[in-house]
């Protein structure tokens, strides 16, 4: 049976994310933005937490780790590179290593840039990618620790996954990301359509995630440094993709 996913708000704009395997009864939380809210959602669904998979060490992604581990005895999985910054970590994975989760597996992909230890998890066979703060819908995370070259490489790593991959990220930033994307690539028809859909979803108080990788490749400017319209906006027609990516990220910081 396919995995069941519960997506809900935590803190202000973080997503809580539970993944439930109906075959084994296991339930994983992607990050732990708020232990109490996650417990309430587990109770509502009558799911028992068995794992936490952390995407990175930031204060809004790990604060529930220790409380949830104490209450549920769950196993905490994270990146070996960031083990010293992930509270309560039990299992350390390196790039490309998979961890069994009920009838599926989660494969850790090192995607540095937002932080040096940032990772994504690819859930198979469901083809679902959890991107934390590395990739958002229509945007990407700030480069707190990585360089534009490093983060652009991480974007390319994500783009190499199957187009039908469904993406869940760490924050509901899609509406404001859409404004920035439209500013620098106003002629992109797929983007115009997605922006309209996002406005409608937000008006209805609904989440804008998940989104397919194919749609992100067509609409997310941070995956589109090859776009002639974006290159022209920045006056960077002859620049390399990492430089165009870097220029976008820099402008977004002050947008």
- Residues found near Zn ion in the complex (CB under 5 A): 58, 133
Residue 145 Cβ, how far from Fe ion at the closest point, in Å?
13
Closest to Fe ion by CB, 57 or 81: 57
Distance (Å, rounded) from C-alpha 123 to C-alpha 160?
A: 15
Binds 35: which of Zn ion, Fe ion, none (CB < 5-8 Å by kind): none
Binds 216: which of Fe ion, Zn ion, none (CB < 5-8 Å by kind): none
Residue 133 Cβ, how far from Fe ion at the closest point, in Å?
4
Residue 132 Cβ, how far from Fe ion at the closest point, in Å?
7
Residue 143 Cβ, how far from Zn ion at the closest point, in Å?
11
Distance (Å, rounded) from C-alpha 175 to C-alpha 208?
A: 8
Binding of Fe ion by 172 (CB under 5 A): no
Residue 56 Cβ, how far from Zn ion at the closest point, in Å?
6
Closest to Zn ion by CB, 21 or 133: 133
Closest to Fe ion by CB, 21 or 133: 133
Binders in 91-130 for Fe ion, by CB under 5 A: none
Distance of CA 4 to the CA centre of its chain: 18
Closest to Zn ion by CB, 101 or 173: 173
Binding of Fe ion by 185 (CB under 5 A): no
DSSP states of the chain as a string?
-PPEEEEEEETTTEEEEEEE-TTT--EEEES-S-HHHHHHHHHHHT----EEE-S---TTTSTTHHHHHHHH--EEEEEGGGGGGSTT--EEE-TT-EEEETTEEEEEEE--SSSTT-EEEEEETTTEEE-TTTEETTEE---SSS-HHHHHHHHHHHHTS-TT-EEE-SB--HHHHHHHHHHH-TT-HHHHHHHHHHHHHHHTT-----EEHHHHHHH-GGG-TT-HHHHHHHT-TTS-HHHHHHHHHHHHHT-
Binding of Fe ion by 34 (CB under 5 A): no
Choices 20-28, 164-172, 178-186, 193-201; region in contact with Fe ion by CB under 5 A: 164-172
Closest to Fe ion by CB, 135 or 247: 135
Choices 2-10, 118-126, 169-177, 212-220; region in contact with Fe ion by CB under 5 A: 169-177
Interface residue with Fe ion, options 41, 133, 172, 216 (CB under 5 A):
133
Interface residue with Fe ion, options 34, 41, 60, 82 (CB under 5 A):
60
CA separation, residue 182 to residues 71, 99, 185, 206 (Å): 45, 39, 5, 21
Binding of Fe ion by 82 (CB under 5 A): no
Q: What residue ranges bind Fe ion (CB under 5 A)? A: 60, 133, 170
């Amino acid at each position: 049976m396919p995995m069941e996913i519960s997506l809900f708000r935590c803190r202000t704009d973080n997503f809580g994310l539970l993944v439930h395997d109906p075959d084994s009864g296991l339930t994983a939380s992607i990050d732990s933005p708020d232990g109490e809210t996650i417990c309430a959602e587990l109770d509502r669904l009558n799911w028992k937490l068995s794992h936490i998979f952390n995407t990175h060490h930031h204060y809004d992604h790990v604060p529930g780790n220790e409380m949830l581990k104490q209450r549920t005895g769950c196993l905490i999985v994270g990146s070996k590179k960031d083990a010293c910054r992930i509270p309560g970590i039990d299992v350390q994975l390196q790039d490309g290593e998979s961890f069994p989760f009920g009838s599926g597996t989660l494969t850790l992909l090192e995607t540095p840039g937002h932080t040096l230890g940032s990772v994504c998890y690819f859930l198979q066979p469901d083809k679902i990618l959890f991107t934390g703060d590395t990739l958002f819908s229509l945007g990407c995370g700030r480069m707190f620790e990585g360089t534009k070259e490093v983060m652009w490489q991480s974007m390319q790593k994500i783009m190499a996954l199957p187009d039908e991959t469904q993406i869940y990220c760490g924050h509901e930033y899609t509406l404001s990301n859409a404004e920035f994307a439209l500013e620098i690539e106003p002629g992109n028809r797929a983007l115009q359509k997605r922006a309209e859909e996002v406005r409608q979803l937000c008006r209805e108080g609904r989440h804008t995630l998940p989104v397919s990788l194919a749609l992100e490749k067509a609409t997310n400017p941070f995956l589109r440094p090859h776009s002639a319209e974006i290159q022209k906006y920045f006056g960077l027609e002859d620049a390399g993709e990492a430089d165009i990516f870097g220029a976008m990220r820099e402008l977004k910081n002050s947008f």
